[in-house]
């Protein structure tokens, strides 16, 4: 059986470079978000609202649905990485809000995030989504969108599985506290 040669822009090494680059960018953008100036009274109010909402979405379905929805937007050609950056920045702001409302150290909360397995899984899924957005964008420009669409469907399924595992881990950790 003859296997068709992959185009040079499909090179797996190149794809892993993009995935790692987006992973690193996510970490940096979240940290920058933690530096956002906050009004302590507003932070307390927002924190209380977040606490109330957590009761309703702290289920596997709620967490998975939210994360998968965001990852699907991150797959969007041309704008996926921009949307991802916005989500990461907002995550940083949420960390700053929690730190402000609980009188915790913002940097400590930021680094604590990386002790949890769901963080690593979510970052992997989001990095996959945003890197695939880049490759979809390249495919559109080069007139090879249909070829890349098949790969995209496979990567969406992989991201869904990763995010499902992340949601399970997160719910288990929430229940344990």
Q: How far apart are CA 62 and CA 168, in angstroms?
A: 11
> CA separation (Å) from 172 to 19, 60, 95, 100, 109?
27, 9, 20, 26, 19
Per-residue pLDDT for 9 more than 60? no
Domain extent listing, the chain: 17-176
Q: Is residue 6 scored above 70 in pLDDT?
A: no
Q: What is the mean pLDDT of the chain?
A: 91
pLDDT of 49-108, one tens digit each?
Answer: 888 877 777 899 999 999 999 999 999 999 999 999 999 999 999 999 999 999 999 999
Closest by alpha carbon to 128, among 11, 16, 47, 8? Answer: 16
Of the listed ranges 39-48, 91-100, 154-163, the one predicted with least confidence: 39-48
Comparing C-alpha atoms, which of 6, 49, 38, 16 is closest to residue 150?
6
User: Can you give the pLDDT at residue 35?
Assistant: 96
Report field, pTM of the whole predicted structure over 0.75: yes
Q: How many CB atoms lie within 10 A of CB 27?
A: 17
Determine what percent of the chain is predicted with pLDDT higher than 70: 93
Residue 103: which region, alpha, beta or left (left: phi > 0; alpha: psi -120 to 50)? left
Phi and psi torsions of 103, nearest 5°: 55, 35
Query: For residue 98, which phi and psi values (nearest 5 degrees)?
Result: -60, -45
């Amino acid at each position: 059986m003859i296997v068709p040669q992959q185009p040079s822009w499909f090179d797996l090494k190149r794809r892993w470079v993009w995935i790692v680059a987006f992973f690193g960018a996510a970490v940096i953008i979240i940290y920058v978000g933690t530096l956002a100036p906050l009004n302590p009274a507003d932070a307390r109010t927002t924190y209380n609202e977040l606490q109330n909402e957590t009761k309703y979405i702290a289920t596997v379905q709620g967490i998975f649905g939210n994360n998968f929805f965001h990852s699907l937007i991150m797959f969007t050609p041309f704008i996926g990485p921009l949307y991802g950056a916005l989500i990461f920045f907002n995550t940083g702001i949420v960390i700053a809000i929690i730190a402000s409302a609980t009188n915790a150290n913002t940097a400590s909360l930021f680094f604590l995030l990386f002790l949890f397995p769901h963080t690593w899984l979510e970052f992997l899924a989001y990095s996959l989504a945003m890197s695939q957005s880049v490759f979809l964008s390249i495919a559109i420009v080069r007139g090879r969108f249909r070829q890349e669409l098949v790969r995209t469907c496979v990567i969406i399924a992989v991201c869904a599985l990763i995010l499902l595992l992340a949601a399970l881990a997160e719910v288990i950790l929430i229940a344990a506290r």
